[in-house]
C-alpha cells in the first residue's frame, strides 16, 4: 500500500495551513471571549478570501462551484480545517450544510437545486437537519413520532425535534418524518424540505449544552412543527426513502467528522507538546512527572496516527466499493476516533493543568463541544454492537 500523499493533496494541505496561520487562528481568542455572532462581519471577509484559495465547498464538483475533491482527498482537507473551530465554516464545508449539499445534489430536483443548493454553495444561506427527537432514543432512529401527511395537495408536518445543529439562522430544514406508518420500519420515513419561514415551523430555542447555548452555525436547536404546510414537490428523493438517504449522507459524513476530530487531536497534541517543553518544573518536582508527560505524548501520537489510517482506509473503501460495503469500516472509525479524541483532549488538559481549563486555549471549548462525538450520529455502543453482530454472522453466529 502506498502511504505517500499525492502532489495535489500536499499542495492544498500547505495552502490551508498557511491560510489557517494567517487568517483563522488569530480570530480564535475573540471567538472564545465574544462568541460566533460577534465575529460575523470579520468571518464574512475571511470567507471571501477562503474562496480565493480554490478550496471553497471542496466536496462538490467544479461545475457546482466546488474543488471536486474525492472523499479521500476531502478527508485530508477536513483534518487541516479541523484544527480550528472556525475552519470548516470558513471554507463552507461545515456540518450540516456539507451533507445537505450532497443530498440536494444527488436527490434534489432542478427546482430544489435552484432554490436551495445554489445559494447554499455560494454561502448565501445556511441549512439544518431535523431528525433526532427528545421523546425517542436516538439509538433507534426508526422510532420516530414526527409525521408528514398529505392534505389538500401539501405535506402537513407535526412533530418535535431537537439537537438540530445550526437551526438558528438556517434558511431551510431537511425534515425526517413518518410518511408511510404501515410500511416496513426502514420504509416509513421520508425527507422533506421545509423553509424556516413556513408558518408552523418554530425554533423554540438553542439547547444549552454543557453550559453553552451557542449561536448561528454552532448552535443545537429545538424545533417544533405545528402543522407546517409545504408543497408535495418539497419531497427529497422518493417517498419512504428517508433512511436510505440518511445512510448515504451519514457514511461520508462520518468520514468528515472523524477527520475533523483528528485535526482537533493534532492541534491538542501541538499544544500539549509545546507546553511540555516550555513549562518550568517546581523545585523538588520528581522525575516521574516528566515520565507521565512523556507517556501522554507517546500514547497520543500512536493513537492519532492509528486513527488516521483507519479513517483513510474507510474513505478509500467507500470510494472503491460503496457505502454499504464499508459499513464495518464506518462503524469502527466512528467509535474509535471519537474515543481517541476524548483521550487526547483529556491528556492535553491534564498536562496544562489549570491553564487547560481556561479559554486561553481551545482545549476547554473542544472538551465541552466534542464530548457529544461519542453520542451523535450513533452512540459508541450502537456502532460496537452492530459491527460485532455483522462480524459474528460471518462466522455462522446468530448474534
Give per-residue pLDDT as tens, 8-33. 999 999 999 999 999 999 999 999 88
Name the least confident of 150-154, 250-254, 270-274.
Answer: 250-254
CA angle in degrees (0–180, nearest 5) for 392-398-399: 65
The C-alpha cell that represents 108 in the structure block:
434534489
Instruction: Assess whether pLDDT exceeds 80 at residue 390.
Output: yes
State the pLDDT at residue 3: 67
Model pLDDT for residues 37-66, shown as the tens digit of each residue: 899 999 999 999 999 999 999 999 999 999
Residues of the chain above pLDDT 90, percent = 81
Q: What is the pTM of this model?
A: 0.92
Residues of the chain above pLDDT 70, percent = 96
Model pLDDT for residues 151-204, shown as the tens digit of each residue: 999 999 999 999 999 999 999 999 999 999 999 989 999 999 999 999 999 999
> Cα–Cα distance between 151 and 227 in angstroms, integer?
11
> Cα–Cα distance between 157 and 172 in angstroms, integer?
14
User: Mean pLDDT across the stretch 285-297?
Assistant: 79
State the pLDDT at residue 348: 97
For the chain, the residue count is: 399
State the pLDDT at residue 61: 96
Question: Who wins on pLDDT, 397 or 105?
Answer: 105
Q: What is the pLDDT confidence band of residue 286, given thresholds at 50, 70 and 90?
A: low
DSSP label of 123:
T
Over the chain, what is the mean pLDDT? Answer: 93
Give me the helices (H) in the chain, please. Answer: 7-19, 28-34, 36-51, 71-81, 87-90, 97-107, 110-112, 118-122, 242-278, 287-321, 327-352, 354-357, 363-370, 380-393
Q: What is the pLDDT confidence band of residue 284, given thresholds at 50, 70 and 90?
A: low
Show Cβ contacts of residue 65 under 8 Å, excluding neighbours closer than 6 positions.
Answer: 56, 57, 121, 122
> Cα–Cα distance between 124 and 113 in angstroms, integer?
14
Give me the helices (H) in 52-188, please. Answer: 71-81, 87-90, 97-107, 110-112, 118-122
> Of 63, 121, 76, 81, nearest to 97 (Cα)?
121
State the pLDDT at residue 35: 87
> Cα–Cα distance between 11 and 133 in angstroms, integer?
42
Name the least confident of 138-147, 208-217, 269-278, 341-350.
Answer: 208-217
Show Cβ contacts of residue 182 under 8 Å, excluding neighbours closer than 6 positions.
Answer: none
Model pLDDT for residues 318-350, shown as the tens digit of each residue: 999 998 899 999 999 999 999 999 999 999 999
Q: What is the pLDDT confidence band of residue 123, given thresholds at 50, 70 and 90?
A: very high
Amino acid at each position: 500500500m502506498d502511504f505517500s500523499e499525492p502532489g495535489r493533496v500536499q499542495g492544498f494541505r500547505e495552502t490551508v495551513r498557511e491560510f489557517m496561520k494567517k487568517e483563522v487562528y488569530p480570530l480564535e481568542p475573540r471567538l472564545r471571549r465574544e462568541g460566533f455572532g460577534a465575529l460575523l462581519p470579520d468571518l464574512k471577509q475571511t470567507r471571501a478570501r477562503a474562496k480565493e484559495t480554490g478550496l471553497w465547498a471542496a466536496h462538490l464538483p467544479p461545475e457546482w462551484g466546488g474543488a471536486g475533491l474525492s472523499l479521500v482527498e476531502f478527508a485530508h482537507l477536513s483534518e487541516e480545517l479541523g484544527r480550528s473551530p472556525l475552519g470548516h465554516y470558513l471554507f463552507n464545508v461545515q456540518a450540516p450544510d456539507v451533507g445537505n449539499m450532497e443530498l440536494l445534489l444527488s436527490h434534489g430536483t432542478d427546482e430544489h437545486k435552484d432554490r436551495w443548493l445554489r445559494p447554499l454553495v455560494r454561502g448565501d444561506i445556511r441549512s439544518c437537519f431535523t431528525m433526532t427527537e427528545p421523546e425517542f432514543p436516538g439509538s433507534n432512529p426508526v422510532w420516530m413520532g414526527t409525521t408528514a401527511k398529505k392534505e389538500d395537495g401539501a405535506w402537513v408536518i407535526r412533530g418535535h425535534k431537537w439537537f438540530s445543529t445550526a437551526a438558528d439562522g438556517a434558511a431551510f430544514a431537511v425534515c425526517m418524518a413518518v410518511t408511510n406508518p404501515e410500511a416496513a420500519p426502514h420504509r416509513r420515513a421520508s425527507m422533506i424540505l421545509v423553509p424556516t419561514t413556513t408558518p408552523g415551523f418554530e425554533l423554540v430555542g438553542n439547547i444549552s449544552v454543557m453550559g453553552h447555548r451557542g449561536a448561528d452555525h454552532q448552535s443545537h436547536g429545538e424545533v417544533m412543527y405545528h402543522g407546517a404546510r409545504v408543497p408535495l414537490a418539497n419531497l427529497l428523493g422518493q417517498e419512504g426513502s428517508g433512511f436510505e438517504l440518511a445512510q448515504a449522507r451519514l457514511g461520508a459524513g462520518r468520514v468528515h467528522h472523524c477527520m475533523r476530530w483528528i485535526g482537533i487531536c493534532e492541534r491538542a497534541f501541538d499544544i500539549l507538546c509545546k507546553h511540555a517543553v516550555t513549562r518550568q518544573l517546581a523545585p523538588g518536582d520528581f522525575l516521574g512527572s516528566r515520565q507521565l508527560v512523556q507517556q501522554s505524548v507517546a500514547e497520543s501520537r500512536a493513537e492519532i496516527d492509528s486513527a488516521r489510517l483507519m479513517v483513510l482506509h474507510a474513505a478509500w473503501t467507500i470510494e472503491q466499493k460503496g457505502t454499504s460495503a464499508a459499513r464495518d469500516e464506518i462503524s469502527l472509525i466512528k467509535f474509535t476516533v471519537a474515543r481517541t479524541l476524548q483521550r487526547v483532549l483529556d491528556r492535553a488538559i491534564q498536562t496544562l493543568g489549570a491553564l487547560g481549563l481556561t479559554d486561553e486555549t481551545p482545549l476547554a471549548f473542544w472538551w465541552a463541544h466534542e464530548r457529544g462525538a461519542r453520542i451523535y450520529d450513533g452512540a459508541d455502543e450502537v456502532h460496537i454492537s452492530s459491527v460485532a453482530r455483522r462480524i459474528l454472522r460471518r462466522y455462522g453466529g446468530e448474534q
